[in-house]
Amino acid sequence: MRIWMIAKRILIELLRDKRTLMLIFIAPLLILFLMKLVFSVNSQTDVTVGTVDVNSSLVEKLDSKHMKVVNYATEKHALKELNQNLDAVIVSENDDLDVTYSNTDASKTKFIKQRLQMALISTRLSQLTSSVKRIYSVPEKKFKITNHYQYGNEDTNFFDKIVPILMGFFVFFFVFLISGMSLLNERTSGTLNRLLATPVRRSEIVFGYMLSYGLVAIVQTLIIVFFTIWALKVEVIGNLFYVILINFVLALVAMAFGLLMSTFAKSEFQMMQFIPLIIVPQIFFSGMIPLETMASGVRVISYFLPMKYAGDALTKVVMSGANFADIYQALLMLLVFLVVLTMLNIFGLKKYRKV
């Protein structure tokens, strides 16, 4: 009963604070929408390449929608245009190719290398096919390619890849921030001390906060998930209930984290100082940056961060249609975080009890 009374009081205070409500419910939607606009642009790179004495068949293979090929009479003239109008210069010398890249944009350099390699392979195959046809008179056969996509379609972009993780991250970030600020405000205003002077248990205070912010987290999760699916048109292959469940457990972990960090802060400014320490690592190791590309020693850090498990589970459900058997380990780890942080919060309130 006392847990519900504490939770009710916190909910009433939240409902009266319109700015906090907007921060919890509106801000994540606005940021998601802006990220959709930013990351949904065409990721294809457009380049311009200069060629000197390059085989016409190779030039024909290189010239495409995203690569413009300009022929130059001399290498000196082509190199003069490098960095200004050209991204690379290809010079043919005794059937060998000498390529000079401007390399001011690494993505363009990588694209040119890939395109050049593909063009060389295609040219060699064409030459080989022509030779075989001349010798054996093999009739030309045309092949039809039909593409299928397990997730999304041909327009799927980088935003669609990271959006499952973003859903969890925004739930984690805003619940962490609001819950921590709330307890800090009660402590600095003296409300917590008056509450601890009553027969109420420390565990009841913690569970009261968990209940209130748990209810807020459910509403926030539903808004973010449904906005992502219907407004941003993101496909969810798996069960929507699992998406909500993962975000709800993650929100409880974030709330427990926020309450714990608030015990070490003496002001709102000090609470904000924990954001680089707690929030930024969650971004790096959540899966938005592929963990397999990191050094093994650095990768170990991810196993101590809740967003790693939430990001993995959400990605599996949204993009692969994973069932409960595929995500229960991640959920179990989130529950371990929740239990440990809750115990630390109960213990942390001990130093504020005066009677």
Domains and CATH numbers, the chain: 2-40+160-352 (no CATH), 47-136 (3.40.190)
Residue 106 in this model has a pLDDT that exceeds 80:
no
Predicted local distance difference test score (pLDDT) of residue 136: 58
Predicted local distance difference test score (pLDDT) of residue 44: 63
Q: What amino acid occupies position 134?
A: R
> DSSP class of residue 229?
I
Sign of the torsion formed by the C-alpha atoms of 121, 123, 129 and 131: negative
Question: Which SS3 state, helix, strand or coil, does residue 264 take?
Answer: coil
Give the long-range contacts of residues 95-103, CB within 8 A, separation 24 or more: 97/54
User: Phi then psi for 214, rounded to 5 degrees?
Assistant: -65, -45
> Please, how many CA atoms are within 13 Å of residue 218, restricted to the half-sphere of its CB?
6
pLDDT digits (tens, 9 = 90+) for 144-164: 546 656 676 666 777 778 888
Residue 2 in this model has a pLDDT that exceeds 60:
yes
Question: Position of tokens 């968990």?
Answer: 210
Please report which residue ranges of the chain form alpha helices under DSSP H.
2-16, 18-25, 27-39, 56-62, 75-81, 106-136, 158-189, 191-196, 202-226, 240-262, 268-272, 274-284, 296-299, 306-320, 324-348
- Report the DSSP beta bridge partners of residue 88: 49, 101
For residues 299-313, average pLDDT: 90
Question: Which SS3 state, helix, strand or coil, does residue 86 take?
Answer: strand
For residues 42-66, average pLDDT: 80
The Cα 328–Cα 117 span in angstroms is 44
Q: Which residue has the higher pLDDT, 101 or 57?
A: 101
Residue 36 and residue 232 in contact, taking contact as beta carbons nearer than 8 Å: yes
- Report the DSSP beta bridge partners of residue 90: 51, 99
Q: What amino acid occupies position 258?
A: G
Residue 355 in this model has a pLDDT that exceeds 50:
no
User: Residue 310 — very low, low, confident or very high, per pLDDT cuts 50/70/90?
Assistant: very high
Residue 240 in this model has a pLDDT that exceeds 50:
yes
pLDDT digits (tens, 9 = 90+) for 82-92: 877 888 898 88
Residue 216 in this model has a pLDDT that exceeds 50:
yes
Residue 170 and residue 260 in contact, taking contact as beta carbons nearer than 8 Å: no
The Cα 137–Cα 108 span in angstroms is 41
Residue 141 in this model has a pLDDT that exceeds 80:
no
CA angle 273, 278, 280 (to 5 degrees): 95
> DSSP class of residue 143?
-
